[in-house]
Structures are given as structure tokens and as C-alpha cells.
């Protein structure tokens, strides 16, 4: 354990979530370099924050490792690519911290819960210790309430991004904005909030307010919606087919065939046989029809 940071040496930092904050998060997990695309304005936002004197540190949950979807080497290649893209934007990161664990992971060494996985603050505290960061002068910026809660627990101020790339969590739980000190549409707006809060608004500029959630019909919204629909269809593709079949439904089908057979026999009895045979056929057919109704009710309730 390192010695506590001397407050006079400690630097302010911006802790950044990765997916949905720095890059597009449209496919659930970024598994390849080709999946990684920086969001518009990210380079400019980070340059502004760097110029204002903040360290830039990425803290990201990467449960895809726990789920066996990506190796540590694959993640390193993606992060190398991210730093290359940021380098082209004339900005660099001071640290990248990731948590590969997940309570339901299929890879044994990554299965479990710990204090590094957001919303726990472990990665932020770890970075603060390594890089001599003053958490009270720092910010956590991310696109989910997990990021805001982690930042709050670490003692940072927080900004929740609510822009075009709304996450499933934000769509389901807009009330989670309560964990954030500010909301911003994108990282560039968030950088503006940070600078105005800590350095002061430029002359004539208004201080940004906590913005309400709003959804705009942009192309990215449409892509997000299509992605969500596809993911939901993939999840439900097999289950509904299984739910359609049941023993009671099969027996109902067989009984319905019996009803049709009884009707044919009743017609033959009416034409060629006695009235008693006709009555028997109709009684059997009626009984079978009642069985069909009962079996279908059992199928629906199961
Ligand atoms: Mg995110």
C-alpha cells in the first residue's frame, strides 16, 4: 500500500467511462478493433480537459472477459487502437483501468463481485493512488448510473451523459440521473461543464444547468433501437418456439381430429345407418369437442 497522497501534490483528474462515453456502444460489447469507433467530439473534449490541467483516466467494466467473449490480449489490442485514435486527435490518456469480472461470468478466474467493478469505486481509488489524484477536485463522466454512483462513492463530482447514444439502463431508469451532479448530451458538453464549474464561465456564457432527459430522432437513436430489437429477438428466438408446444396442445389436436371423424360418421349414419348410430356419433363428437376446449385451456394456463 502506498503512502497517502500529499494534498498539495495531488492533481485533478477526469475519470472516463469507455463504451458509450468515448466510443459507440451499439453492439453490447466491443470485441474487435473494428468494433471500436470514437464518438464525434471526443478528441476535442479531451484536448480541452487536458489543457485545463486534468489527468485523463479511463475506468471501464469489461465483463466480456468474464463471459469468455474477449481475451486480455484482445482487450489490449482494442485499447492500443483507442490510444492510437486519440493520438491522431492529439491527446493521450494517463491511465486505463478495466475490471474483467462479473458475478455470472463463465470464465472461472473472472467470476465474482469485487470492489473494482462499477458502481463500486475500486478502479477510481486505485488510479488515484497510482497517479496522485485529488478525488475531491476530480470528475467522473459516464453514460450510465453505474458510472455516477462509482464516482460519488469515490468522492468525485459526476456527469451523466444522456445524449443520442442512450443506453438500455438510461431508457429504463431515467430517475437514475439523481446520482449525477450534472447531465450533458455528450463529452464535449461535459467538458464545458467541468471547465465552467472549476475555472469559471467565459464572459457572457451561461452556466449549464442539469438537463432533463430527452430523446432526439437521430440516426444513432434509430441504430440503437434496431440493435436493441435484434438483440431481443436473438434472446427470444428459441424460447417462444418451445413454449408453443405442449402435451395438452398435442392431445387437443388429436381430439379435434376425432371430432371431424365423428362428424363424417354421423353423416354416414344419417344417410345409411340408424338414428341411434347417428346419436352415438354426435354424442362422441360433442364429448371430444369439450375435451379439445379443456385441453386448450390447460395449454394456455401452463
Ligand atoms: Mg458506458
How much distance in Å is there from the Cα of 21 to the middle of ligand 1?
A: 6
Whether the per-residue pLDDT at 37 is higher than 60: the answer is: yes
At residue 220, the pLDDT reads 56
Q: So where are the chain's domains? A: 13-236, 245-301
Mean pLDDT, to the nearest integer, of 53-61? 97
How sure is the predictor about 26, in pLDDT bands with cuts at 50, 70 and 90?
low
Going by pLDDT thresholds of 50, 70 and 90, the confidence category of residue 163 is confident
pLDDT band of residue 184 (cuts 50, 70, 90) is very high
Active site residue 172: no
Is residue 19 part of the annotated active site? The answer reads: yes
- Which range in 42-51, 161-170, 243-252 is most confidently predicted, on average pLDDT? 42-51
Predicted pLDDT at 25 = 84
- Lowest average pLDDT, out of 83-87, 92-96, 156-160, 229-233, goes to 229-233
pLDDT of residue 222: 63
Q: Residue 45: name the closest of 122, 139, 124, 147 by CA.
A: 139
Please identify which of the residues 9, 17, 25, 221 carries the catalytic annotation. 17
Query: In angstroms, rounded to a whole number, what is the distance separating the alpha carbons of residues 283 and 281?
Result: 6
More confident residue, 231 or 104: 104
The pLDDT, as a whole number, for residue 267 is 85
pTM over 0.85: no
pLDDT at 2: 42
More confident call, 168 vs 89: 89
Kindly tell me the sign of the dihedral angle through the C-alpha atoms of 181, 36, 42, 46.
Answer: positive
**86 near 45, Cβ under 8 Å?**
no
Residue 254 has pLDDT above 60, yes or no: yes
Per-residue pLDDT tens digits for 210-230: 554 444 445 555 666 676 677
Alpha carbon of 289 to ligand 1 centroid (Å): 57
Percent of the chain with pLDDT over 90: 53
Q: How far is the CA of 273 from the centre of ligand 1 (A)?
A: 78
Task: Please give the distance, rounded to the nearest whole angstrom, from the Cα atom of residue 60 to the centre of ligand 1.
Answer: 8
What CATH number matches the domain at 13-236, 3.40.50.170, 3.40.50.620, 3.40.50.1000, 3.40.50.2300? Answer: 3.40.50.1000
Gap from CA of 57 to ligand 1 centroid (Å): 14
With cut-offs at 50, 70 and 90, classify the pLDDT of residue 44: very high
CA of 69 to the centre of ligand 1 (A): 18
Tell me the CA–centroid distance for residue 107 and ligand 1, in Å: 22
% of the chain with per-residue pLDDT over 70: 77
pLDDT of residue 160 exceeding 90: yes
pLDDT at 214: 44
From the list 9, 19, 35, 80, the catalytic residue is 19
pLDDT at 239 over 50: no
Amino acid at each position: 500500500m502506498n503512502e497517502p497522497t500529499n494534498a498539495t501534490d495531488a492533481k485533478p483528474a477526469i475519470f472516463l467511462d469507455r463504451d458509450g462515453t468515448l466510443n459507440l456502444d451499439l453492439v453490447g460489447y466491443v470485441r474487435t478493433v473494428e468494433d471500436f469507433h470514437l464518438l464525434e467530439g471526443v478528441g476535442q473534449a479531451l484536448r480541452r480537459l487536458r489543457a485545463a490541467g486534468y489527468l485523463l483516466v479511463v475506468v471501464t467494466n469489461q465483463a466480456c472477459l468474464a463471459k469468455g467473449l474477449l481475451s486480455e490480449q484482445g482487450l489490449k489490442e482494442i485499447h492500443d487502437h483507442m490510444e492510437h485514435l486519440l493520438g491522431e486527435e492529439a491527446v493521450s490518456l494517463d491511465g486505463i483501468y478495466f475490471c474483467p469480472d462479473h458475478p455470472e461470468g463463465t470464465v472461472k478466474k473472472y467470476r465474482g463481485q469485487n470492489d473494482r467493478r462499477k458502481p463500486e469505486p475500486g478502479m477510481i481509488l486505485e488510479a488515484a493512488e497510482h497517479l496522485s489524484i485529488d478525488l475531491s477536485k476530480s470528475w467522473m463522466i459516464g453514460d450510465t448510473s453505474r458510472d455516477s454512483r462509482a464516482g460519488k462513492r469515490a468522492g468525485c463530482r459526476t456527469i451523466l451523459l444522456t445524449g443520442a447514444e442512450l443506453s438500455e439502463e438510461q431508457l429504463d431508469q431515467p430517475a437514475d440521473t439523481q446520482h449525477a451532479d450534472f447531465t450533458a448530451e455528450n463529452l464535449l458538453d461535459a467538458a464545458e461543464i467541468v471547465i465552467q464549474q472549476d475555472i469559471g464561465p467565459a464572459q457572457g456564457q451561461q452556466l449549464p444547468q442539469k438537463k432533463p432527459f430527452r430523446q432526439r430522432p437521430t440516426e444513432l437513436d434509430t441504430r440503437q433501437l434496431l440493435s436493441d430489437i435484434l438483440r431481443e429477438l436473438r434472446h427470444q428466438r428459441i424460447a417462444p418456439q418451445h413454449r408453443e408446444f405442449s402435451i395438452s396442445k398435442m392431445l387437443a389436436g388429436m381430439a379435434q381430429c376425432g371430432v371431424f371423424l365423428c362428424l363424417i360418421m354421423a353423416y354416414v349414419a344419417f344417410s345409411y345407418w340408424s338414428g341411434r348410430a347417428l346419436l352415438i356419433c354426435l354424442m362422441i363428437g360433442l364429448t371430444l369437442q369439450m375435451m379439445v376446449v379443456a385441453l386448450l385451456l390447460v395449454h394456455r394456463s401452463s
